[in-house]
Amino acid sequence: MKRIKLTIAYDGTDYCGWQIQPNGITVEEILNKKLKKLTGEDIHVIGASRTDSGVHALGNVAVFDTESSIPAERMAYALNQRLPDDIVIVSSKEVPLDWHPRYQDEILKTYEYHIYNAPVQNPLKRRYSAFVSFPMNVEKMREGAAYLLGEHDFVSFCNVRTSVEDTVRTVKELMIEQEGPDITIRITGNGFLYNMVRIIAGTLIRVGRGFYEPTKVKEILEARERTQAGVTAPPEGLTLVCIEYDGS
């Protein structure tokens, strides 16, 4: 028996997210099915991030245990031959049998939220960016974003349907880049609450459009109330870029 760690990229547009659910096809389900075909075993992958419906990934992580004789490093290639073209295994390698993708001393996740900001939508951007037609002030977004850096109770930036008790998280980096009509919010932290990145993005979009002053971000954070923040930005703008474990 060996445990194999997969790094997985996917276009989330046509999936009901990562986690298996009764009402639609998910990335986890596809992986389990293709691994069963490949190995003949009943395999249930354990994922690091249960991304929402429509959210993309360049580096989600999952593990599974197998008796297969396929070398761990070849598993990526073998799976890619069978997967649909919107899911790609970036790499595969063996890890210790007790290595778990959600429970490690240090886990850093990086997300990007992409905004296409122009008067008219660009159909080549619509799958991977949120469209905002009103002019946005990126400098004000950066001012607002600065309040979120560091360790805070992010309960105000959490979906009300969550049940997690400890809502303190650390945002290590938060950068906003602009290249013509493309605005990218890049955020790295030691974990994120349910919908946290999309609520942060929705709030910063309000700042950019001038609905909120940048200081409003500080007020929302300090209010510690789940109803204070801006709307949840749409899923197509969000990509899980990478997950780093223990500094690697």
Nearest CB to a second copy, comparing residues 1 and 124:
124
Residue 70 or residue 90: which is nearer to a second copy going by CB?
A: 90
CB of 178 to a second copy, least distance (A): 16
Enumerate binding residues for a second copy (CB under 8 A). 9-11, 56, 58, 76, 80, 85-88, 90-91, 120-124, 126-128, 239
First to last CA, the chain: 25
Q: Spot the catalytic one: 52, 65, 85, 182.
A: 52
**Measured distance CA(5)–CA(8) in Å, rounded:** 10
Residues annotated within a binding site = 111
Cβ closer to a second copy: 85 or 166? 85
| Interstrand relation of 107-117 and 182-189 (parallel, antiparallel or unpaired) | antiparallel
Q: Which residues are CB-neighbours of 100 under 8 A, at least 6 positions away?
A: 46, 63
Residues making up the annotated binding site for substrate are: 111
User: What whole-number distance in Å separates Cα of residue 231 and Cα of residue 242?
Assistant: 25
Cβ proximity to a second copy: between 22 and 123 the closer is 123
Q: Kindly state the smallest distance separating residue 128's Cβ from a second copy, in Å.
A: 6
Burial (CB < 10 A; 0-12, 13-18, 19+), residue 181, is middle
Residue closer to a second copy, measured from CB, 28 or 229: 28
Nearest distance from C-beta of residue 149 to a second copy, angstroms: 26
Q: How far is the CB of 118 from a second copy (least distance, A)?
A: 10
Note if 85 is an active site residue: no
- The least CB distance from residue 39 to a second copy, in Å, is 21
Instruction: List the one residue out of 45, 116, 126, 122 whose CA is nearest residue 79.
Output: 45
Q: Which residues are catalytic?
A: 52
